[in-house]
Structure 1
Amino acid sequence: MEKFQNHRGYKRMYQENKLTLGLFFPIESYMSDVPEMNIEKQIKLAKRAEELKFAAVFARDVPLRDPNFGDVGQMYDPFTYLGFIAAHTEKIALGTASIILTLRHPLHVAKAAASVDKLSGERLILGVATGDRPIEFPAFSVDANDRGTLFQESIAVMREVWAKNFPRIHTSRVDLMNGDLLPKPNLSSIPVMVTGHSSQSPEWIAANSDGWIYYPRPLHYQAELIKNWRSLTDEFKPFTQSLYIDLTEDPNHVPIPIHLGFRIGRNFLIEFLQALNDVGVNHIIINLKYGRRPVEEVIEELGEYILPHFPALTDN
């Protein structure tokens, strides 16, 4: 989108007809629902990802541990964690996938996002969602049936307080009369990417977001989904998806399905990524949770053999 051509994170990740790659925190594999997340190791790997020209690193927002769900994500508050990572990196985009807007006050989200974006030098990509873990809604005293309405409210409030000085806002959770939210993003906005459907229609997402984050799907399904997505807007709005990979030592290992991804050799991975590029995917967030090899080896192999085909779009 033209309004984000001076946004460093957006420029590094997104361009029409181009595919870039990112990594999910924790950058590690783990069998239980709770990762180790050794701080020094995660910093080292984030820096190495930046050097290798991964476009982005992403943090998930999982407010509570649900033992039945099987994964608590990167464990820390995503804004706090990305602020910490921002202080140890210089160029790599910093993404959330995704902030649960229904469980957070929109003014708090707006302030936290603007803070990370400004402190990082315009590197934040704000993925947002409604949440999908049943234990979360009663814990936060939120009616799950109100998810769609609360989600729309949050995005509208954030847009307004980022762009205007002393706006007057009256919604179900906000009654802002005389105050103002600081800091303001330098571009008066931050790229907002809706995850999944978030209880919205594709038409609403196309009109009210800056891009779409979706889940891994069969190639023909993803192609139709993206074709429809492109038909809903006259301007370029990027399409992002996640992908779990277990990269094998054998570069010719044929793909074997795992949860939301593949156990796969690098040669077939290149072919698959190119196919996703051809149908219009603009960024893929790689999750290494189910990997069997040392994560350092995997990142180096991705950097040497995969990233030259799909490098970050800028390095400034």
Structure 2
Amino acid sequence: MTQRRDCPARRVRMSAHDPHPSHIKKAMSKHHGFRRLFATDQMTLGLVLPLETYAEGTTPTMQDHLDIVRHAEAIGIPGLWLLDIPFFDPSYGAAGQVFEPLTYMAALASVTTEIAIGTAGIVLPFREPHLFTKQVASVDLLSQGRCLIGLSMGHRVSEYSLFGIDYETRSSRLREIYRLYRILAEHDRPAFSSEVFGASPGGYDIVPNPPFGRTPMIGINGAGQDMAWVAREMEGIMMPVTDPDKLVDMVASWRRAIPDGSFKPISMVGFLNLEEDPDYPFRRDREGFHVGSRALARYMEQAREAGVNHFALNPRYTRRPMKELLEDLKTDVLPHFPALSVGD
């Protein structure tokens, strides 16, 4: 595998007057996780955790989960994505990877060396911004710059009630937490004020700092926001998997939203039902899509030609052992869509 550079343990934070676009560009050009997954005219493959197939039931066993993650990295899977499901609600029938995502991300980083690890995504309205800032910077630093944070607004009304948060305020609450996160993570001893989350006259820092100046933020399904806001404020977007004939329009809508025409990747995510027949054609269903491994590679090539940069597959509904799924990806998909080189 490619040898990664050591990332700095400390950096100088930007001032409020530093040019925002150049700061972002510099950070993304150095961030290991971002560079492993995203580049212009390139497509990479990711997997949504848990790395376990369970078409029936609601909760994975998580048996040998760290060994399977190490195996996924060894065969060349470039990225992993974690879900954020604070409370298990049987009516939704999903517990995700069971473990809290930022905690689990730190554990995954400790047993891997190259693979990018992201969230798809953190339900930001549930997070307290000061502690969230410290958690994200800590994980990004401990992983040596392999952390990417996908953010979502969440859609489970029952969870908002459990947190004592008004569901109708979720969109504005996400924007306010995000605003404070950027101030706290990227400015030196900032002054700030918020009607909900306190205030500071300045002079206080949250440490550690993001190792490369900024941890990449990805809007999961737009994070419930206007696409123009996501394109301006975040480093990329992840959308639900779509039919082949809709790929070009999806990418075009995203690119039109980017204010300065800079490179901000667009990704897709979906439930994968990997069929035994490698040439089984792409077919959508209610839970995601069915496809064979060689047909998956052909679909990903179409997506790359349309401008999609990354495809995150959730293996849950595949009715075959995870070992077989990984072997098919290794043989028929990864040779065409390898991890990108981070370099020196």
| Partner secondary structure for residue 224 of structure 2 | coil
Q: Which moved more, 1:243-252 or 1:124-133?
A: 243-252
Q: Does 1:153 align with 2:180?
A: no
C-alpha separation between the residues in 2 aligned to 1:20 and 1:207?
A: 24
Contact 2:106/2:143 (8 A) holds in 1: yes
| Partner secondary structure for residue 94 of structure 1 | strand
C-alpha separation between the residues in 1 aligned to 2:286 and 2:142?
A: 35
| Partner secondary structure for residue 98 of structure 1 | strand
Q: Does 1:199 align with 2:224?
A: yes
* RMSD after superposition: 1.5
Q: Under a length normalisation based on structure 2, what TM-score does the superposition of the two structures give?
A: 0.88
Over residues 232-266 of structure 1, what are the superposed CA-to-partner deviations in whole Å (9 max), with x where a residue is unaligned? 22100001111222222222223343334322222
| Partner secondary structure for residue 254 of structure 1 | coil
Q: 1:296 aligns with which of 313, 323, 336?
A: 323
Q: 1:315: how far off? A: 5.8
Q: How does 1:52-131 map to 2 (within 5 A)?
A: 52-131=75-154
> Where does residue 4 of structure 2 map in the other structure?
none
| Partner secondary structure for residue 257 of structure 1 | strand
Amino acid in the other structure paired with 1:210: E
Could you tell me which runs of 5 or more consecutive residues in structure 1 were left unpaired when the two chains were aligned: none
| Partner secondary structure for residue 333 of structure 2 | helix
> Where does residue 166 of structure 1 map in the other structure?
189
Amino acid in the other structure paired with 1:240: S
C-alpha separation between the residues in 2 aligned to 1:88 and 1:263?
A: 31
Over residues 68-108 of structure 1, what are the superposed CA-to-partner deviations in whole Å (9 max), with x where a residue is unaligned? 11212111110110100100000000100101110111112
Over residues 210-229 of structure 1, what are the superposed CA-to-partner deviations in whole Å (9 max), with x where a residue is unaligned? 10011112233332121021
Amino acid in the other structure paired with 2:297: I
Q: 1:296: how far off? A: 0.8
Q: How does 1:40-55 map to 2 (within 5 A)?
A: 41-55=64-78
> Where does residue 252 of structure 1 map in the other structure?
279
C-alpha separation between the residues in 2 aligned to 1:254 and 1:203?
A: 34
Contact 1:33/1:72 (8 A) holds in 2: yes
Amino acid in the other structure paired with 1:188: G
> Where does residue 267 of structure 1 map in the other structure?
294
157 and 119 in structure 1: CA distance in 2 versus 1, 3 angstrom threshold: same
> Where does residue 53 of structure 2 map in the other structure?
29
- Size of the alignment, in residue pairs? 314
Over residues 122-146 of structure 1, what are the superposed CA-to-partner deviations in whole Å (9 max), with x where a residue is unaligned? 0001000111111110100111111
Over residues 55-80 of structure 1, what are the superposed CA-to-partner deviations in whole Å (9 max), with x where a residue is unaligned? 11111111111111121211111011
Q: Under a length normalisation based on structure 1, what TM-score does the superposition of the two structures give?
A: 0.95
Give the ranges of 4+ consecutive aligned residues of structure 1 lying more than 6 Å apart after TM superposition. none
C-alpha separation between the residues in 2 aligned to 1:286 and 1:4?
A: 24
| Percent identical residues | 30
> Where does residue 29 of structure 2 map in the other structure?
5
Over residues 25-72 of structure 1, what are the superposed CA-to-partner deviations in whole Å (9 max), with x where a residue is unaligned? 10011111111112xx21112112112221111111111111111212
C-alpha separation between the residues in 2 aligned to 1:254 and 1:20?
A: 20
C-alpha separation between the residues in 2 aligned to 1:32 and 1:142?
A: 30
Amino acid in the other structure paired with 1:7: H
Q: 1:243 aligns with which of 270, 294, 301?
A: 270
C-alpha separation between the residues in 2 aligned to 1:235 and 1:189?
A: 17
Contact 1:21/1:283 (8 A) holds in 2: yes
C-alpha separation between the residues in 1 aligned to 2:219 and 2:205?
A: 25
Amino acid in the other structure paired with 1:227: A
| Partner secondary structure for residue 334 of structure 2 | helix
Amino acid in the other structure paired with 1:81: Y
Q: Which moved more, 1:256-265 or 1:57-66?
A: 256-265
C-alpha separation between the residues in 1 aligned to 2:46 and 2:218?
A: 15
Q: 1:185 aligns with which of 207, 210, 214?
A: 210
C-alpha separation between the residues in 1 aligned to 2:217 and 2:223?
A: 13
Q: 1:3: how far off? A: 2.7
| Partner secondary structure for residue 40 of structure 2 | coil
| Partner secondary structure for residue 23 of structure 1 | strand
Amino acid in the other structure paired with 1:257: R
Contact 1:253/1:265 (8 A) holds in 2: yes
Q: How does 1:207-246 map to 2 (within 5 A)?
A: 207-233=232-258, 234-246=261-273
